[in-house]
Chains A and B, each alone.
Chain A
C-alpha cells in the first residue's frame, strides 16, 4: 500500500532532471565510443508518485550510484559491475514466487509491476564496508507484492535469490561466495512500509549494475541485504540461509541492521564515508538503523542487537 511512509529527505536537492539527462547523453556518447560491453544507461522512464516531505539530504549523483557498486557476480572491484553487467539479459524476466503462498507461480516482470503504485523515495544507503550514499529509488512496497500472492499464516520469513547465469556473469567463476546469491528477511521486516522493491533510480529503469530489473531495498540494513536482480521469492517458516552469513557467520549476521555500536570484527561501524566527497572528505557518524529507528526500532524490541547482529 503506497503512502504509508513519509520521506524525511528533500526532493529539492535532487539533481535537476535536465542536468542529469545532459550528463546521461554524455555517458551514452562515451558508451558508444568505447569498445566492448559497457553497461549503457537505461532509457525507459517510470511514472512514479513523488513525495515532498523532508529535510535535506542530498542524493548522490547518478554517476556515483551507477559506477561504484558491489555486485560480485560481475567481479569484486567496485567498477567491475558497471563494466560487466551490460551483458546480463533482463528481457524477458520472471520471478518464481513459491513456498507458503496462496498463489505460487512464475510471475513476469510486467505482471509484477502492473497495477502497483510506483513511488520515488530518497533513502540513505549504508554499505557494511563503512561507506554510504543517498539514492533516489523508484519502486513499490514489497508488502504490495506479498499481499497480492497471499502470504499464508505459517510463513515467518521471506527468502530471495539473485539470477545465476554464468555465461553473462564473469564473476561467478570465482568462489568468493556460494552462488546463487541469497538473502532473507523476517516477515515483519518484509511487510514494513520502508521495505521497497525497486525498479529504478532517478526516475528511470535501474541500470543492470544496480540490480535490474527488480531489487530489494531495505534502508535500515547494510547494503548487502538489499539483494539485486531477483528471480525467486520464497515464503518459508524457517530462517533462510543468506550468502554473506554462509560465507562468514562471525562477520555477517542474518539481521545486519545498521548499528554504529556493533563493530564488524575487522573494522569500526561507528562512522562512514559518504561517497562523492572526493579525496579530502570527512567521515560522518553512522546513525542507528541508518536513521530509520522511528520506523523500525519496534521490530527488534527486547532483542539483544549485539547477539542478533
Chain B
C-alpha cells in the first residue's frame, strides 16, 4: 500500500466536523492573549494581522486540496468545505477587528474603503468570498446544481489573489513575507491551470 492510499484509508472514516472546532481554537486563544497583554504593546494590530494571516493560510490550504489529489493521490476533498468556511470566518474576524477595534468610526471606515487601495482590494476579496460562504452547504448545492455551483466557486481564485495582494500592499516597503505568500498563491493557481490543460478536454 502506498503512503497516499494509507492516508486516504485512515481518513475515510474521519468526520470533517472536528476541523471547525480545532481551527476555531487558535482564534479564541489569540483573542484571549490580546485581551490579557500576551500580544505585545499593540494588541489590536497584532490580532488583526494574526486573523488575516491565518485566513490566508487556510485559503491556500483549500487551494491545495485538488493538486494534492492530482499529484500525490491524497484525497482531502471532504475536508475542503470546512477549510474554506473556516478561512471565511477568519477573514470575517479580521474585518471585524479592523472595523470595531482598529478604525472605530463608521465615517472613517467608508473613507478608508474608497480611498485606500489596499483596503479596497481587501474588501473586494471579502465580497467575492461572501457568496461562496453562503452557498457552502448541501441544500444550496442541490438547488444550484453541481455545474453552476462549481462555476460560482471559481471566484475563490480571484479572491485569494486579492488577499495576497492586500497583504503585499499594506506593509511598509517591499517586505519578504507577504511576497512569499503572493508567490505561493500564484504558483498554486498556475499549477492548477496547467493541470486542467493537461487532463481536461478543452
Contacts and interface: CB of A to CB of B under 8 A. Distances in A.
Interface in A66-115: 67-68, 72, 76, 78-79
B173 interface: yes
A24 interface: no
Summarize A's interface: helix, strand, loop or mixed.
Answer: loop
A281 B172 CA distance: 24
B42 A266 contact: no
B70 interface: no
B34 interface: yes
Contacts of B104: 282-283
B101 A280 contact: yes
A76 B115 CA distance: 26
Contacts of B117: 266
A189 B80 CA distance: 59
Contacts of B44: 273, 279, 281
Contacts of B169: 266
A132 to B, nearest CB: 11
A279 B34 contact: yes
A20 interface: no
B42 A68 contact: yes
Contacts of A174: 175-176
Contacts of A268: 108, 111-112
Interface of A: 60, 63-64, 67-68, 72, 76, 78-79, 129, 131, 174-177, 247-248, 263, 266-268, 270-271, 273, 275-276, 278-283
15 contacts: A68-B40, A68-B42, A129-B172, A174-B175, A176-B173, A176-B175, A177-B173, A247-B173, A266-B117, A268-B108, A270-B108, A278-B35, A279-B34, A279-B43, A281-B44
